[in-house]
A and B are shown apart, each in its own frame.
Chain A
Amino acid sequence: MRHITKMALCAAGCTAAALALAAGQSDEIAKYRQLLAEGNPAELWEMRGEELWKQKTGPNNVSLEQCDLGKGPGIVKGAYAELPRYFKDTRQVMDLEQRLRYCRMTLQGLTAEQASAQPFSATGKASDIEPMVAYITAESRGIAMNVSISHPEEKRAYEIGKKLFFYRGGSHDFSCASCHSADRMRIRMQDLPNLTVKADAQAAYTSWPAYRVSQGEVRTMQHRLNDCFRQQRFPEPMYASEAITAVTMFLAHNANGGVYQGPTLKR
């Protein structure tokens, strides 16, 4: 309850900040973020995600605790900081959400459709995926990103992701790079990270997933990418697709060395 009051106050503070002149507005937003980070509602998603992870369910009535996220069955700690990665069992580069789907199918016996149902919560329709992603990513908090491209398939995913990042198309000729390949650019009052340079790529990538104050939900990296593609005037990417993994690989590897912070809190 105390947090809710604090958040309401902060929201009012942010409106005031938005009315201030453009100069110095970034500082105000940074202060606002710091204030909110003290009581991040994402913790509730992390707790719920851990419950779901450990809950016996599906036709096989088993938990996900033996899921191999890349560091061996049952190891969640630090796994996200090394994803996406090549998995020998599927002979495929997978990101977290592809791997989570794979484990729900192979361990619990869910169908592909069941294992990718409701990737993003909507009004009245809760997502099991968002809390589980919040739990798994939180288990890498404080760990430096270390995403390998040494396997040929990892290198291939990275290079395809890079091509997709710079691919211009659609009614507005936009690519990811239109907004994210130069320093200190801003859309309206929103600062844009330059995802082709280390410091910005690290700061941006290590901050997702995030609890979105404006949406009241924890949103994943794929949710963020979907929204980017929407504003880019691109069609809609499919959930847990190879294309999304490739773009994620490009962004994650560029963020190597950055300390993972998520799930964080954003406007």
Chain B
Amino acid sequence: MKQMKTVMAIAVLLCGGAAAAADKYAQEAAALLKADFKSKGPATLERVTAQDDAQKDCSSPTALPPAKAKALEAAQLKAVKYPSDGKYLGDWKAGERIAQNGRGMQSSDKAGDVNGGNCYACHQVSKEEISFGNIGPSLYQYGRLRGDSEAILKYTWAKLYNAQAFNACSRMPRFGHNGVLTEQQLKDVMALLLDPESPVNK
């Protein structure tokens, strides 16, 4: 019994030591970010050094424990802002341009320029565009398969606004939450996905 206690004490010490070292490396990495990177255009140093809770929690090589992931999703969902006028759908043609546009917020872009959504980088969207990535699922036929019920509109909006509201540490940018796309731009992308006239649903 005594032996076991000693083993456990050593284990606690060792784990504590490893965690302390990991913290030390994290602090040193954060310090290097501050010292060795410089703001350029819209890509500011402050924006990267000031991690929010989701960014902090998702900066590990290992997945979040399920309870922590659920809590993160709930907190992100709570912060979703729905369209102020209650209208979810804009212009799908403008949405297609946003989906194609990969610019915005890079050190090579101008501060204040219109940001793109770059949906095609990761998703198949319309069938006409054959240059698309595979990091996210295909969105072809998105509306046709789901319809346009209030529940679908609300869910899709929230997903675009903050993908981590449903999938903690998702690779997808939080387009609304982080102010990458405006409310009007989000409506336009909504229309691209849900408008029956959009090539996505043809």
Chain A residues with CB under 8 Å of B134's CB are 184-186
Cβ of A175 < 8 Å from any Cβ of B?
yes
The number of chain A residues touching the other chain, given as a range, is 35 or more
Chain B residues with CB under 8 Å of A196's CB are 61
The number of chain B residues touching the other chain, given as a range, is 35 or more
Interface residues of B in 105-140 (CB under 8 A from A): 105-108, 120-122, 130-135
Chain A nearest CB, measured from B175 CB (Å): 9
Cross-chain contact A167 with B59 (CB below 8 angstroms): yes
A170 to B173, CA, bound (A): 10
Per-residue interface assignment for chain A, residues 3 to 35, with 1 indicating a CB less than 8 Å from any chain B CB and 0 otherwise: 000000000000000100110000000000000
Cβ of B155 < 8 Å from any Cβ of A?
no
Interface residues of B in 60-93 (CB under 8 A from A): 60-61
Cross-chain contact A236 with B40 (CB below 8 angstroms): yes
A263 to B52, CA, bound (A): 40
Chain A residues with CB under 8 Å of B26's CB are 163
Within the complex, which residue of B32, B107, B132, B179 is in contact with A230, where a contact is CB–CB below 8 Å?
Answer: B107
- The chain A residue sitting closest to B58, CB to CB, is A168
Cross-chain contact A243 with B37 (CB below 8 angstroms): yes
Cβ of A50 < 8 Å from any Cβ of B?
no
Cross-chain contact A235 with B40 (CB below 8 angstroms): yes
Per-residue interface assignment for chain B, residues 1 to 34, with 1 indicating a CB less than 8 Å from any chain A CB and 0 otherwise: 0000000000000000000011001101110110
Chain B nearest CB, measured from A173 CB (Å): 6
Cross-chain contact B49 with A169 (CB below 8 angstroms): yes
Chain A residues with CB under 8 Å of B30's CB are 167
Chain B residues with CB under 8 Å of A185's CB are 133-135
- Contacts A186-B135, A236-B37, A236-B43 known; A160 to B61 CB distance under 8 Å? no
A161 to B35, CA, bound (A): 15
